[in-house]
Amino acid sequence: QVQLVESGGGLVQAGGSLRLSCAASGRTFSIMGWFRQAPGKEREFVGAIKSSGGSTLYADSVKGRFTIFRDNAKNTVYLQMNSLNAEDTAVYFCAARLTGTIAIGTTTWYYNYWGQGTQVTVSS
């Protein structure tokens, strides 16, 4: 069975850093991505990475602050978040697709599987 499990969320001070993890089991995924959703807002794209070669894409809102990377041996993808601010407060979701093109990975409907999400709260 396929399962995605996020971890690493919590409370952090503005300007601080946090690293999220997404452990995948059951399959090897071609594309893995991160999305986030704040109360009253739609789920938005954060970043994505391709399993082969490590190509990445980022939303403009997080470019330069967030980094997505992977450990294929552990079948795990990470989201390193730096210079956090209150606008980054949201539930962060890990998503995966078995096959595909990373250029289309900015859209929620493109993914086959989703984790349950982990809460990130940035305080001032």
Q: Kindly report, residue by residue over 78-119, the tens digit of the pLDDT.
A: 999 999 999 999 999 999 998 888 888 899 999 999 999 999
Q: Kindly report, residue by residue over 29-44, the tens digit of the pLDDT.
A: 999 999 999 999 999 9
Whole-angstrom CA distances from 80 to 28, 49, 92, 93 are: 22, 13, 12, 14
Q: Kindly report, residue by residue over 51-72, the tens digit of the pLDDT.
A: 888 899 999 999 999 999 999 8
Q: Which residues pair with 22 in a beta bridge?
A: 6, 77
d(CA 111, CA 92): 15
